[in-house]
């Protein structure tokens, strides 16, 4: 191989030529390098680092930087977790201190408490105009009850004397403050010092009028010709035949007045301030539409809700057992009474921002009849939520979101996400994940008296969004929390037959639950 070929190969391989090797002139003689050319060749050799050596150094450097990034990420996550844990312990401490102070102040008030007694019959009759038994002054509902065990007369016989030696005790129930709205829903009786479960107050409830209803609030589904025609006919019948005042929404009253000035007697409200006191003027609520109309009617009442008579004029019928074709017969029976009702519990939700000084500083509470949904919104990242039940840690939710539902909403979004169908009279809260990242993350059913806290941790990649019965969407940033507990004001809906019959009819007709062809009888037999 000639010298020229060697130089060409070295140039192709991007290798520098040895500075000590002489050059070949045009006449074939060897000529040494000049000092300038030698210095230039040295600089070129220094600047031309082998490619393989460069790649090895870059790989080592990138690995080192990746290790440093992982360490920094772990430090940031640990710091965020420590901050979240410190904030949680601070919250628990403040809540416990406030609870202890509240219990001390309630001990004096509870000494003279006159509480409701459980009825021994299987049906509980609810009167609309009875004296409210006040205990602690919370919402006009007795929220503290003390039941002591029965002490037998020791002078009757020796057997009673032995029973009297048994240690006496008492059980007490109390709401966890005015904000939580947690109340007793089960009565425990005592027989010679033994604890037994008495008749539940939510077995089957009858409503009996002590005075006839005077004002009826009609909530009509908008943009429906059939609903509007039925609303007009029902208003005429209530006014002319039953002498009952009618209240409607401002939109409906405008539509009625466009048709005829005859409907000038129909009442409505002027501003949002009157809506807060709507329950003090209305004796009965009639909804004309589907389940969405019932949800809208319930959202208008921020406190107690009058009895609701839902007529089916929509596509779903889980909450609307009454048929519009027989509205006169149905309303005759309702106005006369008594009739069965279903107490549909609602959730009371508070959004606590990270900038709040304590958990008592929250936004206006929101009441929901179906469910609260927390999802990732438009973010492409999974939701990362920390969930607590009272003071106990539940789990971290990683997935598309979380549903906190009432039993009335168990046949809605929660059922579509894999939750169970629950009878609406069951006092419970449903905890259902939406497309969880872990296959072992299954839905839960929790008791009604717990308070659920869902918080967006500081190390969450994205934000979360909360919607309440499909509306009033709110953004939850890192450090924000959503607290849900059972509201003290349920939605009493009238039953066509009774609570259980209406519920089973709704899942059979609305969902075609377990509908299949009957097995042939001419097959093999034992």
Q: Which residues contact 120 (CB under 8 A, 6 or more apart)?
A: 199
Burial of 93 (0-12, 13-18, 19+ CB in 10 A): exposed
Structure tokens at 375: 């999802």
Catalytic residue among 283, 291, 375, 469: 291
Relative to beta strand 308-312, strand 322-323 is parallel
Residue whose tokens read 């941790």:
457
Q: What are phi and psi of 80, to 5 degrees?
A: -65, -40
Q: Which residues contact 521 (CB under 8 A, 6 or more apart)?
A: none
Q: Which residues contact 429 (CB under 8 A, 6 or more apart)?
A: 347, 404, 405, 406, 445, 446, 447, 448, 450, 452, 484, 486
Collapsing DSSP states into helix, strand and coil, what is residue 80?
helix
Q: 441, 395 in Cβ contact below 8 A?
A: yes
Instruction: Name the CA dihedral angle for 219, 224, 230, 236, rounded to a multiple of 10 degrees.
Output: 70
Query: Among candidates 399, 411, 425, 337, which has minimal Cα distance to 371?
Result: 411
Query: Among candidates 102, 93, 87, 119, which has minimal Cα distance to 182?
Result: 102
In angstroms, rounded to a whole number, what is the distance separating the alpha carbons of residues 385 and 399?
9
What letter would DSSP give residue 267?
Answer: B
Q: 408, 370 in Cβ contact below 8 A?
A: yes
Structure tokens at 325: 């074709």
In angstroms, rounded to a whole number, what is the distance separating the alpha carbons of residues 490 and 368?
10
DSSP string, 154-197: TTS-HHHHHHHTSPP-EEEEE-S-TTT-------EEEETTEEEE
Question: Counting runs of H as helices and runs of E as strands, what totals does the chain give?
Answer: 11, 26
Structure tokens at 515: 């509908």
291 flagged as catalytic? yes
Relative to beta strand 452-455, strand 383-389 is antiparallel
Q: Mark out the alpha helices in 189-326 (DSSP H runs).
A: 225-241, 250-259, 272-276, 291-299
In angstroms, rounded to a whole number, what is the distance separating the alpha carbons of residues 291 and 314?
7
Collapsing DSSP states into helix, strand and coil, what is residue 471?
strand
C-alpha to C-alpha distances, 188 to 103, 147, 159, 173, nearest whole angstrom: 22, 8, 25, 11
Collapsing DSSP states into helix, strand and coil, what is residue 465?
strand
Which residues carry out catalysis? 291
């Amino acid at each position: 191989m000639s010298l020229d070929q060697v130089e060409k190969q070295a140039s192709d391989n991007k290798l520098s030529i040895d500075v000590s090797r002489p050059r070949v002139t045009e006449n074939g003689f060897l000529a040494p390098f000049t000092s300038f050319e030698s210095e230039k060749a040295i600089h070129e050799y220094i600047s031309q680092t082998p490619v393989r050596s460069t790649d090895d150094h870059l790989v080592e450097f990138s690995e080192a930087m990746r290790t440093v990034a992982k360490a920094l990420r772990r430090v940031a996550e640990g710091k965020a977790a420590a901050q979240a844990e410190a904030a949680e312990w601070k919250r628990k401490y403040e809540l416990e201190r406030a609870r202890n102070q509240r219990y001390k102040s309630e001990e004096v008030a509870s000494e003279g408490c006159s509480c409701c007694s459980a009825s021994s019959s299987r049906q509980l009759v609810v009167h609309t105009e009875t004296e409210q038994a006040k205990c602690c002054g919370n919402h006009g509902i007795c929220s503290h009850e003390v039941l002591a065990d029965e002490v037998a007369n020791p002078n009757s016989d020796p057997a009673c004397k032995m029973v009297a030696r048994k240690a006496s005790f008492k059980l007490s129930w109390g709401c966890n403050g005015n904000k939580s709205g947690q109340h007793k829903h089960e009565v425990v009786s005592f027989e010679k010092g033994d604890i037994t479960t008495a008749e539940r107050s939510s077995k089957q409830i009858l409503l009996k009028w002590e005075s006839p209803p005077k004002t009826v609030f009609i909530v009509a589904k908008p943009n429906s010709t059939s609903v509007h025609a039925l609303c007009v006919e029902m208003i005429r019948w209530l006014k002319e035949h039953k002498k009952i005042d009618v209240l409607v929404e401002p939109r409906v009253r405008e539509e009625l007045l466009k048709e005829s000035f005859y409907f000038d007697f129909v009442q409505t409200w002027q501003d949002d301030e009157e809506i807060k006191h709507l329950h003090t003027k209305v004796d009965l609520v009639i909804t004309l539409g589907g389940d969405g109309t019932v949800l809208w009617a319930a959202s208008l009442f921020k406190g107690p809700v009058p009895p609701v008579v839902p007529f089916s004029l929509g596509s779903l019928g889980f909450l609307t057992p009454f048929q519009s074709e027989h509205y006169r017969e149905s309303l005759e029976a309702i106005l006369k009474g008594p009739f069965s009702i279903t107490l549909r519990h609602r959730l009371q939700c508070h959004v606590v921002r990270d900038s709040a000084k304590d958990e008592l500083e929250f936004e206006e509470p929101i009441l929901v009849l179906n469910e609260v949904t927390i999802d990732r919104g438009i973010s492409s990242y999974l939701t990362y939520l920390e969930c607590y039940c009272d003071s106990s840690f539940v789990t971290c939710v990683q997935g598309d979101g979380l549903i906190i539902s009432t039993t009335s909403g168990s046949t809605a979004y929660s059922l579509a996400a894999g939750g169970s169908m629950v009878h609406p009279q069951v006092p419970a809260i449903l905890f259902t994940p939406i497309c969880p990242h872990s296959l072992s993350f299954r839905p839960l059913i929790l008791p009604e008296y717990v308070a659920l806290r869902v918080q967006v941790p500081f190390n969450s990649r994205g934000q979360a969004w909360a919607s309440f019965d499909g509306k009033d969407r709110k953004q939850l940033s890192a450090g924000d929390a959503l607290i849900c507990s059972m509201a003290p004001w349920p939605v009493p809906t009238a039953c066509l037959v009774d609570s259980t019959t209406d519920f089973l009819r709704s899942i059979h007709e609305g969902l075609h639950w377990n509908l299949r062809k009957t097995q042939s009888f001419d097959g093999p037999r034992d």
